[in-house]
Amino acid sequence: MNELGWVEHALVAARPQAVAALLRYFRDLDLAEEAFQDACLRALESWPANGPPRDPAAWLILVGRNRGIDGVRRQSRQEPLPAEEMLSDLGDAEAALAERLDGEGYRDDILRLLFICCHPDLPPTQQIALALRVVCGLPVGRIARAFLVGEAAMEQRITRAKRRIGEAALAFDTPGASERAERLAAVAAMIYLLFNEGYSAGAAEADARGPLCDEAIRLARLLLRLFPAEPEIMGLAALMLLQHSRRDARFDGDGAIVLLEAQDRGRWNRTAIAEGLALLDKALRHRRRGPYQIQAAVAALHARAARPEDTDWPQIAQLYGALETVQPSPVVTLNRAVAVAKVEGPAAALAMIEPLAEALAGYFHFFGLRGWLLQQLGRAAEARVAFCRAIALAGSAAEADHIRRHLDRLERAE
Amino acid sequence: MLYAVLCYNSEDAVGSWSKEHHDDVMTKLAVVQDGLARAGRLGPVARLLPTTAATTVRKGRDGPLVVDGPFAETKEQLLGFYLIECASLDEALATVRDLAVANPGTGSYEIRPVSMFRPGAVAP
């Protein structure tokens, strides 16, 4: 094990709060990041010898602020770091600063930091890349691997994103309640997008992209600690934990997709399920229903079923009906149709999805489900057409292979 | 004497551990636990879910009030606990030093002598 492991982990943990405070202080993302990097270098020198400070984030903010001031003053980055004895009185200062940090202030700091990553001028992939780099502190190389692009291209993407938000006016005053709610919603959407980047990866990319799911869950927990009574944030965290609990069962040894009902439920991560269910329980107490909570409730019904045949499909159909009322979309209706097929049979489900044909003309899952329903109804020729369309629209080799296996079964049945 | 060892650490730091690091720490801690178990000194061991999964009931004038989150916002969170049998505080300190060496870096262990303990019947 890396001897310095704990220092690295302490720096990662302190990063959001420290960078967010330095951003408020310098009002410039690049300066804030540089100041934080400087402080990290100091920490790597001093913490292994002196042990961790009582409040690592406060230590880093203080040191980063001083370094940043020096940097601004000299406008030079070639200066050596100041001598260790200059930090000798840090203990008291750190304690005083920690007291001041214990207010509402740092909540809004971190929310602001996350929110600028969600700037509406930025395309979603840039939002995610920026959050991974600035808030999570992932090395550019790892982000590049996760997005299947070269490191230079990713570096450029992040630089462009920063330039764009640098040109936008950032509000540094304390947000009002409605503005805070808007920011929270934007940040939650970005976090779920980040999660899906990792979740939608095939088995072959799981190593590079799987960490995106972990980062998304970490960010959701961070948000929850700042806003502990927000049921939709609880729902978001629960949804991701419950979906991620199945990570080891979703692909077989050859990297082929294993459908939910065929998965080995013994390989689902029980700790993640326990945490997801606990968060959902907490959220539902608030009686303020929202899309993340409803989707988490669906995931919870799957997690609670010991065997596939124990799944409460009528309840799942109802939940998707509820989701249609708060967040109507053809994809939600498609999901409800899956549950309806289980409850009322394929004919009812097929009738439900026919009106979606136009809206979902380019959607892999629409044709996958349509083919499967037609197959159930013995309409093999039409099923084959739908499956072929699905293969053409598949987003990954695993998706295409999965449908091909359906087709093979269809051929064999004839 | 029975002692409770309350394990505090930064939830964020522990949450950022890689699987390898996590497994490594658990293996090292298991060595300490096994020694205690062999000596018949190891009681229940619990690891808690993150504080974000916590709910707090505050006793108030108008009856119990349910609040989301942990009882207190602290820099380091209560992540788990042990109950161990020790002949003296020195023995407890020696044991907890072993735990600290197995999992170095940030965090603290609070050692609290136990005044009453009922084993109960629950085994998860």
pLDDT tens-digit series, residues B32-88: 999 999 999 999 999 999 999 999 999 989 999 999 999 988 889 999 999 999 999
Q: Is residue A278 part of a domain?
A: yes
Q: Which residue of B has its CA nearest to A98?
A: B75
The answer to whether A7 faces chain B, any CB pair under 8 Å, is yes
Mean residue pLDDT across chain B: 94
Of A1, A221, A234, the CB nearest to B24: A1
- Across A88-102, A159-173, A400-414, which has the greatest mean pLDDT? A400-414
| Residue B76 neighbours by CB under 8 Å, 6+ apart | B8, B9, B10, B106, B107, B108
Distance (Å) from the alpha carbon of A275 to chain B's nearest alpha carbon: 6
Inter-chain CB proximity A7 and B52 less than 8 Å? no
Structure confidence at residue A1 (pLDDT): 40
- Comparing CA positions, the residue from A394, A397, A393, A349 lying closest to residue A374 is A349
pLDDT at A398: 84
Residue A1: partners with Cβ closer than 8 Å, 6 or more residues away? B21, B24
Quick one: which H or E segment has residue A151?
helix A151-167
Residue A72, token pair as written in the block:
């601004």
Judged by CB atoms closer than 8 Å, whether chains meet at B24 and A102 is answered as: no
Q: What is the mean pLDDT of chain A?
A: 89
Q: How confident is residue A87, by pLDDT bands cut at 50, 70 and 90? A: low
Average pLDDT over residues A325-334: 96
Q: How, if at all, do strands B63-68 and B55-60 pair?
A: antiparallel
Asked if A278's CB is within 8 angstroms of B69's CB, the reply is: no
Which of B12, B68, B104 is the closest to A13 by Cβ? B12
Mean pLDDT of A328-335: 96
Query: Please, how many CA atoms are within 13 Å of residue A150, restricted to the half-sphere of its CB?
Result: 3
Domain boundaries, given as residue ranges, for chain B: 2-49+81-113
Measure A287 CA to nearest chain B CA, in Å.
Answer: 14
Q: Measure B74 CA to nearest chain A CA, in Å.
A: 9
When CB atoms are compared, the residue of B10, B53, B105 closest to A278 is B53
- The pLDDT score that the predictor gives to residue A172 is 74
Tell me which of A364 and A74 has the higher pLDDT.
A364
pLDDT for residue A85 is more than 50: no
Whether the Cβ atoms of residue A57 and residue A101 lie closer than 8 Å to each other: yes
Q: With contact defined as beta carbons under 8 Å apart, do A60 and A39 qualify?
A: yes
Share of chain A above pLDDT 70, in %: 90
Mean pLDDT score, A26-38: 92
Give the separation between CA A15 and CA A40, rounded to whole angstroms: 9
Does the residue A222 lie in any domain? no
Using only C-alpha atoms, what is the Rg of chain A?
A: 25
Say whether pLDDT at A391 is over 80: yes
Which of A391, A361, A385 is closest to A373 using CA atoms?
A: A385
> What pLDDT, on the 0 to 100 scale, is given for residue B16?
87
Q: Is the pLDDT confidence value at A81 over 60?
A: no
**Cβ–Cβ contact B17 with A under 8 A:** yes
Residue A77 has pLDDT above 70, yes or no: no
Pick from A6, A54, A98: CB nearest B104: A6
Instruction: Render pLDDT for A166-192 as a digit per residue (tens, 0 to 9).
Output: 887 776 777 888 888 888 999 999 999
pLDDT of residue A140: 94
A101 touches chain B (CB under 8 A): no
* Residue range A243-294, pLDDT digits in tens: 999 999 999 998 889 999 999 999 999 999 999 999 999 999 999 999 999 9
The answer to whether residue A234 scores a pLDDT higher than 90 is: yes
**What count of Cα atoms within 13 Å lies in the side-chain half-sphere of residue A275?**
25
- Alpha carbon separation from A182 to A132, A171, A217, A221, A350 (Å, rounded): 21, 14, 20, 18, 38
Nearest chain B residue (CA) to A237: B52
The domain of A293 spans 229-245+270-305
Does residue A235 carry a pLDDT above 70? yes
pLDDT per position as a tens digit, A91-107: 556 656 655 655 567 88
Nearest by Cα to A53 from A8, A107, A10: A10
- The residue with greater pLDDT, A76 or A66, is A66
Query: A395 near A364, Cβ under 8 Å?
Result: yes
- From the list A52, A102, A275, the residue facing B106 with the nearest CB is A52
What's the whole-number mean pLDDT along residues A228-233? Answer: 96
pLDDT of residue A104: 61
- A-chain CB neighbours of B46 within 8 Å are none
Confidence of residue A79 (pLDDT cuts 50, 70, 90): very low
A104: nearest CA partner in chain B: B73
Least confident of A49-58, A68-77, A253-262, B100-109: A68-77
Which pLDDT band holds residue A75 (cuts at 50, 70, 90)?
low
In a domain, A373, yes or no: no
Return residues 203-242 of A near B (CB < 8 Å).
218, 221-222, 224-225, 228-229, 234, 237
The model carries a pTM of 0.90
- Interface contact B15, partner A, CB < 8 A: yes
